[in-house]
Amino acid sequence: MTLPPLYLSSQQPRARWMRFDTAQLLKRFFFCERSLLVSMAAWIPSIASLEIKIEMARFTWQSSETANSLRERVFELRFPNRLLEEEGSDHSLVGLIGSVRDSPSVPALLSAVGHVFLPALRDAYRDYLDASDAIADGPTHRFLSVALTEKREQVDAFQKWAATSLTQHAALRESTAVWTHDLSERLVAIGGIGVGPASQVDVTTPKTNTYAIPDRPARDPRFWPCRFYWPDIVDSTFPYGEGLRLQLRSAISHLNEVWAIEVGGIILSSFAEVLPWEWIRNSARWTYDESRHCRMGYERLMAWNLDPAEIPLGTYIYDSASGEDPIYRLGMLYFFETKNIRHKPARAQMFHSYGDTLSEHDMDFDWADETIHAGYGKHWLKELLVLRGQQAEAYDQVRERCGQLVTDYVGTATAKEISDIRSVADALILKAGKTELS
Ligand SMILES: [Fe+2]
Ligand SMILES: [Fe+2]
């Protein structure tokens, strides 16, 4: 006679991963998202297409939110805090993902992200959701399902952008294919992202280029290119305006917040290694918010049937901090946030009185965002200064110097630039007058 077993046991797929295994996988995903989003942010200024610039900011923010949920969940699983500060056995994988920042060109970046790293993350999330326990690990299932949906959208977008950018830069086809293939091979060699144990293989990361912050931002060629995007910037006698002029000026300002998306991306990546995680999360949100403000202006101008070729898209604020320590890029955002915020409620009120509900709506939402941003600026400038061994209160000096940098740069406007922007603005005001903006 055989004795009954002493304990109940059966093969249960729910028990495939124990708490610690789960935390290790989620930690890997956190570092992969973090690494990828830092590279995406760094490239925003180099992308010409306004659509891609805006969408990349949104995707960067999505990644930061996913990374933040992953990080919080790892802490909930009682993973030792100290171990979450380092990639550990995933060091090589995370380094490989980070190497995409050194892509040799815009198509190469879009292709490597869209064909190699985003699909690998998407598949890892899908496999994780399939194999993990929706009961014990229910909180992860909720946010990772959202992340999987977002990853699918991101893969489609990046692959489409990579294809479009290659039709515009056919000469880069070969180098883009080589770069993408190379990274893909290395990712395979390391075992992918996946849900398996960390690879022991140490791959070297390819290097064809070293990332540098571009001195000039790439701009969408559909618009009228310039440095100073409205006459009042270079000519104090030109009024900011009321009525139709104010409606137009405000939409032009919003569109030209494209500089703030670029600067947001630069500062996120520049300080990612020195400031704590919360910096990346805040600056990703900041960058995304600025992309929404830019899009608000674009959509209003398009709704008024204006032609992008007649709309000035300038670079002067970006240019003003070029070649400077990136702390002045952070300072530049802070300078403009605090300089303009007081006008916004009054302008929303003016738009209300004109019956222009869309401008009013956009300005009102923008004001709420900018209030958050002014807080980010002050807080992180202080943190950065303290890290550098300086007084936190010197943040105001950084702000003041930014004001001076802009004034000096505006002083370089040529007579031709001033008369050209005047003609473009007058023509736009005339045309808008015939359209009647509301
Ligand atoms: Fe803004
Ligand atoms: Fe802002």
User: Which residues does residue 313 pair with via DSSP β-bridges, in sequence order?
Assistant: 225
What is the whole-number distance in angstroms between the Cα of residue 267 and the centre of ligand 2?
A: 14
Ligand located closest to 372 CA: 2
Position 429 pLDDT exceeds 80: yes
What is the whole-number distance in angstroms between the Cα of residue 135 and the centre of ligand 1?
A: 42
User: Which residues does residue 362 pair with via DSSP β-bridges, in sequence order?
Assistant: none
Contacts of residue 433, Cβ cutoff 8 Å, sequence gap at least 6: 244
- Which helix (H) or strand (E) segment holds residue 77: the answer is none
pLDDT at 82: 72
CA pair distance 320, 199, nearest whole angstrom: 45
The pTM of this model reads 0.95
Ligand located closest to 370 CA: 2
What digits encode the pLDDT tens for the residues 196-225?
988 877 777 777 788 999 999 999 999 999
Looking up tokens 């815009």, which residue turns up? 106
SS3 content of the chain, % helix, strand, coil (to 5): 75, 0, 25
What is the whole-number distance in angstroms between the Cα of residue 247 and the centre of ligand 1?
A: 16
CA pair distance 378, 383, nearest whole angstrom: 9
What is the whole-number distance in angstroms between the Cα of residue 381 and the centre of ligand 2?
A: 15
Higher-confidence residue of 437 and 73: namely 73
What is the whole-number distance in angstroms between the Cα of residue 120 and the centre of ligand 1?
A: 33
CA atoms within 13 A on the CB side of 208: 13
pLDDT at 1: 62
CA pair distance 371, 293, nearest whole angstrom: 14
Arithmetic mean of pLDDT over the chain: 94
- Return the structure tokens found at 161: 């952008």
What is the whole-number distance in angstroms between the Cα of residue 340 and the centre of ligand 2?
A: 10
Position 436 pLDDT exceeds 70: no
* Helical spans, DSSP H, in 116-257: 118-131, 138-168, 173-189, 231-234, 243-255
What is the whole-number distance in angstroms between the Cα of residue 260 and the centre of ligand 1?
A: 7
What is the whole-number distance in angstroms between the Cα of residue 22 and the centre of ligand 1?
A: 39
Position 231 pLDDT exceeds 60: yes
> What distance lies between CA 119 and its chain's CA centroid?
19
Ligand located closest to 373 CA: 2
Looking up tokens 């007579």, which residue turns up? 415
What digits encode the pLDDT tens for the residues 257-312?
999 999 999 999 999 999 999 999 999 999 999 999 999 999 999 999 999 999 99
The C-alpha angle with vertex 67 and arms to 66 and 70, in degrees rounded to 5, equals 85
pLDDT at 437: 63
- Return the structure tokens found at 117: 């790293």
Ligand located closest to 291 CA: 1
CA pair distance 292, 287, nearest whole angstrom: 9
User: Which residues does residue 246 pair with via DSSP β-bridges, in sequence order?
Assistant: none
pLDDT band at 171 (very low <50, low <70, confident <90, very high): very high
Ligand located closest to 371 CA: 2
CA pair distance 291, 254, nearest whole angstrom: 9
What is the whole-number distance in angstroms between the Cα of residue 3 and the centre of ligand 2?
A: 73
Looking up tokens 């209300």, which residue turns up? 352
What is the whole-number distance in angstroms between the Cα of residue 288 and the centre of ligand 2?
A: 10
Ligand located closest to 375 CA: 2
Percent above pLDDT 70 for the chain? 99
For ligand 2, a single-atom ion, which residues have Cβ within 5 Å? Answer: 337, 370, 373
CA pair distance 320, 311, nearest whole angstrom: 21
Position 318 pLDDT exceeds 90: yes
User: Which residues does residue 367 pair with via DSSP β-bridges, in sequence order?
Assistant: none
- Which helix (H) or strand (E) segment holds residue 196: the answer is none
Ligand located closest to 374 CA: 2
Ligand located closest to 296 CA: 1
pLDDT at 366: 94
What is the whole-number distance in angstroms between the Cα of residue 257 and the centre of ligand 1?
A: 6
pLDDT at 135: 95
Position 438 pLDDT exceeds 60: no
Percent above pLDDT 90 for the chain? 84
3-state secondary structure of 207: coil
- Which helix (H) or strand (E) segment holds residue 224: the answer is strand 224-225
User: Considering only CA atoms, which of 73, 68, 44 is closest in space to residue 57?
Assistant: 44
What DSSP string runs through 22-57?
A: HHHHHHHHHHHHHHHHHHHHHHGGG---HHHHHHHH
What is the whole-number distance in angstroms between the Cα of residue 309 and the centre of ligand 2?
A: 26
- Return the structure tokens found at 105: 């060109």
pLDDT at 339: 87
